[in-house]
């Protein structure tokens, strides 16, 4: 059976340090996928993957490797949908899990917001990322790992 691993959509991920700490503590491999180079911890558990600058190249790399033993960390709703369809567990950067039950409404909301922005309506962005988001993320990641470990 394949081991559990974490796939991170890293370009705009505010919780990379938390992921590294959890991965080290639990001895779980992490692939940090981005369109640009940035530092990752040196060690056997963290793999840096820099994809070419093509549109959705990082998303494609992650989606191709997502399966029932992967936890995908992303804020990208369309990537979350692809990974859920592949059987992966998906957790948003803010700790909110994406599920088969919630992804449809998330996609619909995304489309409505895009239409509002395209129409020139002033729409505020997400609230600033804070300590509560970080805490919720750590809890959600821990819960996802426990579920996958029990499913072995």
Local confidence pLDDT in tens for the 152 residues of the chain: 579 999 999 988 999 999 999 999 999 999 999 998 889 999 999 999 999 878 789 999 999 999 999 999 998 989 999 999 999 999 999 898 988 767 767 666 666 666 676 777 666 666 788 899 999 999 999 999 999 999 87
**CA distance linking residue 132 with residue 136, whole number of Å:** 6
pLDDT of residue 47: 96
pLDDT of residue 145: 95
pLDDT of residue 115: 67
Q: 59-78 in b/e burial notation, b at 16+ Cβ within 10 A? A: bebbbebbeebbbbbbbbbe
Which residue segments constitute the domains of the chain, with CATH numbers given?
5-150 (3.40.50)
Q: Cα 108 to the chain's mean position, in Å? A: 19
3 near 26, Cβ under 8 Å? Answer: no
């Amino acid at each position: 059976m394949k081991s559990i691993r974490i796939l991170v959509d890293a370009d705009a991920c505010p919780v990379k340090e938390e992921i590294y700490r959890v991965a080290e503590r639990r001895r779980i491999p992490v692939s940090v996928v981005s369109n640009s180079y940035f530092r990752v911890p040196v060690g056997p558990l963290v793999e840096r993957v820099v994809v070419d600058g093509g549109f959705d190249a990082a998303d494609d790399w992650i989606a191709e490797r997502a399966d029932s033993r992967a936890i995908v960390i992303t804020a990208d709703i369309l990537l979350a949908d692809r990974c859920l369809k592949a059987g992966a567990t998906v957790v948003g950067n803010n700790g909110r899990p994406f599920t088969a039950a919630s992804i449809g409404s998330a996609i619909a909301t995304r489309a409505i917001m895009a239409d509002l922005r395209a129409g020139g309506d002033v729409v505020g962005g997400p609230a600033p990322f804070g300590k509560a988001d970080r805490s919720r993320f750590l809890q959600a990641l821990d819960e996802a790992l426990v579920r996958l470990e029990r499913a072995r």
